[in-house]
Amino acid sequence: MFITALCVFSQCLTTSNGNIFYTNVNKQDTRVFVNRSLAMEKIKCFGFDMDYTLAVYKSPEYESLGFDLTVERLVSIGYPQELLGFVYDPTFPTRGLVFDTMYGNLLKVDAYGNILVCAHGFIFLPDTRELYPNKFIQRDDTERFYILNTLFNLPETYLLACLVDFFSNCDRYSSCETGFKDGDLFMSFKSMFQDVRDAVDWVHFKGTLKEKTVENLEKYVVKDAKLPLLLSRMNEVAKVFLATNSDYKYTDKIMTYLFDFPHGPKHGTPHRPWQSYFDLILVDARKPLFFGEGTVLRQVDTTTGRLKIGTYTGPLQHGIVYSGGSSDIMCDLLGAKGKDILYIGDHIFGDILKSKKRQGWRTFLVIPELAQELHVWTDKSSLFEELQGLDIFLKVTHDMDMCYGMMGSLFRSGSRQTLFASQVMRYADLYAASFINLLYYPFSYLFRAAHVLVRTHTHKHRAGLLIQKPVDVHNS
């Protein structure tokens, strides 16, 4: 099963010190799920990413903006004008797909590289043995196979499918096994992919994506009044830090908007600037490099947004904004070591995998899609009962997958786990649809994973199950 256990079931929770804490976590979308046990009272620092974690971008509006700007960039470097007619469709892409730069296919694979779904453009290929004789790919071949793992990857995932579909059906081009020809000109899928990657990077770092986002924050960014309350509660029990790859000017505009309420953490309390909720603020982190050798730690002039000359060598000071640095430097400033820190982010590689493997930080993965996955499972669970009839297995599996979108569930294909699901299980100690779900648990709570010896092999289990039956955990 994908999720080893739900950390809670009933409304009455028992904390690690024996206190009773009543909450509303029996609702699926407010739960925190557990892969590895974690005692909250041992956490001395809570760390946050900003993009897609503290700042939740509205879907599909934000993805549509990124998609449109990337298409405009491709047209500006010579791609056909017809591309400007593309419209982003959020029902097609899902995270965790792999793009094969040799054959131009989008692949959904499991943890071992076995192919679960293969799409060429918008055509789903029922038989892939001619291209992949063993229905298997070498994931280590990163020159050929690119994993589209982040929420920022969703627009380019759909754009890659659009481009393959366009060139396959355009009379001016003839299809080849590894690309397209236009007279004497040949464009490989690999070069097309690289053009898309370069265009995406240009849009994010040199283009107008951030500018257009801050021009219309209400359209693109979710604002949650529970955010100041959660952080203020964290302030009472631990240090809180922000480590984002974004620059200070953008970070300040986004965070100012997120905390733009007439009151403080609670109604009747005075408003507090966003900086007051953090013991340490670090921008331009350059994750995942941040979790290795890192860069020079500098101080930001918050008036101009520019970096001050020289390397910062002083102690941690409240109100100072830092730029660059590394996780080692941050731990020194905070006076904390690996397992003292719970880091909360959305990026399975840049946030979770690297912080876990290189620093031993405890990890909380934000998976916004989880809310939809839980809804589908709850709403369509009767379909799973039909899977016990082997003669209709494929049809019902397909019907179930289509409830999630054209590429199916983020976590499964039928009864098989996806690569993304295996990475979540391996590197995320906790995960939820939103970090705000921590608000529904006391900070003395023990998240305890179920004891699992050997997976039970039986034909009677629900083959497409995303989540096990909830377990009522009483902590001692």
* C-alpha–C-alpha distance, residues 71 and 155, integer Å: 10
Residues 6+ apart with CB under 8 A from 65: 209, 212, 213, 220
The annotation status of 171 as a binding-site residue, yes or no, is: no
Of 29, 49, 195, 391, catalytic? 49
Tokens of 391: 């003669």
Helix axes 370-380, 393-404, angle to 10 degrees: 140
Cα 431 from chain centroid (whole Å): 11
279 is in an annotated binding site: no
Structural contact between residues 380 and 361, judged by C-beta atoms closer than 8 angstroms:
no
Extract the tokens encoding 214.
Answer: 């801050």
Give strand pairing partners of 34: 5, 430
51 carries a ligand binding annotation: yes
Q: Which of 294, 292, 274 is nearest to 284 (CA)?
A: 294
CA distances from 17 to 35, 339, 340, 387, 474 (A): 22, 20, 19, 44, 11
The encoded tokens of residue 454 equal 């050997």
DSSP 44: -
Pairing of strands 239-243, 45-48: parallel
Give the C-alpha separation, 280 to 341, whole Å.
13
Catalytic status, residue 49: yes
User: Which of the residues 51, 279, 284, 340 is marked catalytic?
Assistant: 51
What are the distances in angstroms from CA 411 to CA 32, 95, 162, 169, 415? 17, 9, 24, 32, 10
For residue 171, indicate whether it is catalytic.
no
Annotated binding-site residues for GMP read 51
Annotated binding-site residues for Mg(2+) read 49, 346
Annotated binding-site residues read 49, 51, 346
Which amino acids are annotated catalytic? 49, 51
